Amino acid sequence: MKIPYLLSFCFLILLQTACAQDQSPYTFKKPSANGTGKIYMGREIAHVMSFEGVDWLERNSRTQEENTTLALASLPLKNNSVVADVGAGSGFYTFRVAQRIPKGKVYAIEIQDDAIAYLKKKALDDRLTNVEVIKGTEKTPNLPANSIDLAFMVDVYHELQHPAAYLAALSKALKPNGQLLLLEYKEEDPMVAIKPEHKMSVKQTKKELAANGFKLVKNGTFLPLQHFLLFEKTGN
C-alpha cells in the first residue's frame, strides 16, 4: 500500500468515527454520586440498581408507601393481555400481573443473572405458567416483533443505559396498538425521598419519549410517590 493512499485511508476512518460520535444522542460529563456521567437530552442516566437491593423491592411497607394496589388496578389489562415487565427485578409486579391475566402472558425481562434465577424459581414455586423469564440486553428486551400489548417499567426507565436503542426495540415488540407505561418517582416533588438521578419529571419523560416515537395518552396523578405515564406509539 502506498503511503499517500494509507494516509487517505486512515483519515477516512477517523472522519467516519468523528461523524458517528457527532450523531450519537449522548454526551458525557464527570459522573455524579448516583449517575453514570452519560447525558441523554439533558438528563444524566442513573446507575442500574444492583439485585442486592432485592429486600428493598420486596419490603413489607412498599404496598402502602407506593399504593401498588392502585397502580396494579390501573394497568390497562385484559384477561388475555400479553405484557412485558421490563427490568422486572424481584417480580413484585410480574407475579401480581400474572394473576390478573390468567389467559394472558407476562414476559419478565431482566439483564442481571441473579435476578433471572430468582424470577425463574419464584415462577416455578408459585406455579405461574403464564410467566416467561427472558434475559435482555442493555439495548433490547429480546422480544419478537409485534408480540406484546403492553410494556411497563416500574422505576426502571431512568436506568436504561441506551434509552434510544431500547425504545426502538420496544416499539418493534409492541403490537400496532400497543402501549408503554412508565412509573417513575416524581422529580417535581421534593418530599419524595429518592436520589435525584433516580427521579423523572413529566416534562423530561415526555420529551424523551416523543423523540422516540411515543405520545403521552394518560398522566395519572393518583399515586403518592410516582408518576403513572401511559404512552402509545405515534407510528413514526
Residue with cell 442486592: 52
Tell me: pLDDT of 12 over 60. no
8: in domain? no
Mean pLDDT of the chain: 92
145: in domain? yes
Helix (H) or strand (E) run with residue 53 in it: none
SS3 133: strand
Residue-wise over 199-227: b if at least 16 C-beta within 10 A, else e? bbebebbbebbeebbbeeeeeeeebebbb
Q: What is the DSSP letter of 200?
A: B
Range of the domain at 116: 26-233
Which CATH number is 114's domain given? Answer: 3.40.50.150
Helix (H) or strand (E) run with residue 175 in it: strand 174-185
6: in domain? no
18: in domain? no
Q: Are 123 and 90 in contact (CB under 8 A)?
A: no
200: in domain? yes
Confidence of residue 151 (pLDDT cuts 50, 70, 90): very high
Confidence of residue 101 (pLDDT cuts 50, 70, 90): very high
SS3 229: strand
14: in domain? no
What's the pLDDT score for residue 2?
A: 52
- Taking the complete model, does pTM exceed 0.85, yes or no? yes
What's the pLDDT score for residue 18?
A: 39
SS3 131: strand
84: in domain? yes
How, if at all, do strands 105-110 and 82-86 pair? parallel
Tell me: pLDDT of 19 over 80. no
Number of structural domains (the chain) is 1
Least confident range of 40-44, 221-225, 231-235: 231-235
With a pLDDT cut of 90, the percent of the chain lying above it is 87
Tell me: pLDDT of 210 over 70. yes
123: in domain? yes
Per-residue pLDDT, averaged over 33-53, amounts to 95
